[in-house]
Amino acid sequence: MTAQIIDGKQIASQMREEIKTKAAELTEKGVQPGLAVILVGEDPASQSYVRAKEKACENCGIYSSDNRLSADTTEEELLALIDNFNKDPKIHGILVQLPLPKHIDEGKVLLAIDPNKDVDGFHPVNVGKMVVGEKAFLPCTPHGIIQLLVRSGVQLEGAEVVVVGRSNIVGKPIANMLIQKSDTGNATVTVCHTRTKNMADHIKRADIVIAAAGGPNTVTADMVKEGAAIIDVGVNRVPDDTKKKGYRLVGDVDFECVKEKAGFITPVPGGVGPMTITMLLYNTVESAQRVADAK
């Protein structure tokens, strides 16, 4: 058996066409979806990510307000800018690119964003709503994972799922989303982490494995059940002299060996990655739709 590759680029492209259509319909009604992106400092990875978000907005017909602030911007200045966007009717989503410089309190900044414009899904109000199963902006990477599984025809209801990793960005929210009574939930979920005993025993039971541990080869072929669906969230640099940059990107799963045993698998890169920005656009359009519905 060789696994079916879950192509994140293709699924993201399909979703972006849907988002583009919905954004055009809203714009026709006088509500063009708008996203404010705030970047503080010069972190190269963050700059690259923000550029990709801005380009994606443009391609989908979403208005993008690009705000690049110097690393010495004060916390007060950043909070004042967020407050302006909270009040701006042209803006339906606010994204503050993390990490922030050390002198700025990340928690305070996330709390300052209006939960109705928190398209990252990190505000405690949205996290709380997600946990109790109310309508909320869902965090982008976990929501993207759900879309990959659903659109690839992987059965979620009744499935045994093992999530490897308990981060606030991926592990905890994906576990919560999968146990909900919903069309994209009703799974039985086990969360494994650095203190889990005999992790391999848990993974061997799983119909679906979501690896978000942050280390290469955390999940190997001997741990995986025949025919399981494997979602690899990890992005790790490993030295490779054959590459111009001197490294290559790999996930948390031993891809070459596991793909011979799994039923479905995401590659790295090109699996989960393209979905994160796509779900940010999805949430921004969803926010604009709420505004249009309230008119």
CA distance 43 to 24: 33
224 marked as part of a ligand binding site? no
Considering the domain boundaries, does residue 288 fall inside one? no
Question: Is there a single domain that holds both residue 266 and residue 144?
Answer: yes
Question: Is there a single domain that holds both residue 110 and residue 162?
Answer: no
97 noted as active-site residue: yes
- Half-sphere exposure (CA, 13 Å, Cβ side) for 292? 19
Looking at residue 135, what DSSP letter applies? Answer: S
Helices marked H in 210-272:
255-258
How big is the CA angle at 201 (ends 203 and 195), to the nearest 5 degrees? 85
Residue 209's CATH number:
3.40.50.720
Considering the domain boundaries, does residue 131 fall inside one? no
Question: Is there a single domain that holds both residue 99 and residue 208?
Answer: no
pLDDT for position 45:
81
Question: Is there a single domain that holds both residue 41 and residue 161?
Answer: no
Considering the domain boundaries, does residue 19 fall inside one? no
Cα 261 to chain centroid, rounded: 26
The label of the residue with tokens 């690009």 reads 66
Considering the domain boundaries, does residue 105 fall inside one? yes
Contact between 279 and 147 under an 8 Å Cβ cutoff? The reply is yes
- Indicate the burial class of 43 (C-beta count within 10 angstroms; 0-12, 13-18, 19 or more): middle
Closest to 252 (Cα-Cα) out of 201, 192, 195: 192
The label of the residue with tokens 């982008």 reads 140
189 marked as part of a ligand binding site? no
Question: Is there a single domain that holds both residue 155 and residue 265?
Answer: yes
- Pair type for strands 93-96 and 188-192: unpaired
CA distance 112 to 275: 26
Considering the domain boundaries, does residue 51 fall inside one? yes
* Helix, strand, coil percent values for the chain (each to nearest 5): 45, 15, 40
Q: What's the domain count of the chain?
A: 2
152 marked as part of a ligand binding site? no
53 noted as active-site residue: yes
Considering the domain boundaries, does residue 260 fall inside one? yes
Closest to 228 (Cα-Cα) out of 172, 164, 180, 276: 164
Amino acid at position 35, single letter: L
Question: Is there a single domain that holds both residue 168 and residue 264?
Answer: yes
Residue 269, both tokens: 């890169």
Question: Is there a single domain that holds both residue 53 and residue 168?
Answer: no
4 noted as active-site residue: no
Considering the domain boundaries, does residue 126 fall inside one? no
Q: Calculate the alpha carbon distances from 271 to 117, 147, 265 in Å.
A: 27, 12, 9
- Pair type for strands 236-239 and 247-250: antiparallel
Q: Given the residues 22, 53, 172, 225, select the one marked as catalytic.
A: 53
Q: Which domain does 192 fall in, by range? A: 140-274
CA distance 188 to 196: 18
Residue 49's CATH number:
3.40.50.10860
Question: Is there a single domain that holds both residue 177 and residue 59?
Answer: no
Q: Given the residues 22, 117, 118, 120, select the one marked as catalytic.
A: 120
CA distance 76 to 44: 24
Question: Is there a single domain that holds both residue 159 and residue 218?
Answer: yes
- This model's pTM is above 0.75: yes
Considering the domain boundaries, does residue 251 fall inside one? yes
Q: Given the residues 97, 147, 232, 252, select the one marked as catalytic.
A: 97
235 marked as part of a ligand binding site? yes
Strand partners for 231: 210
Question: Is there a single domain that holds both residue 41 and residue 75?
Answer: yes
Question: Is there a single domain that holds both residue 161 and residue 267?
Answer: yes
pLDDT in tens, the chain (295 residues): 789 999 999 999 999 999 999 999 999 999 999 999 999 998 888 888 888 999 999 999 999 999 999 999 999 999 999 999 999 999 999 999 988 999 999 999 999 999 999 999 999 999 999 999 999 999 999 999 999 999 999 999 999 999 999 999 999 999 999 999 999 999 999 999 999 999 999 999 999 999 999 999 999 999 999 999 999 999 998 888 888 888 889 999 999 999 999 999 999 999 999 999 999 999 999 999 999 998 7
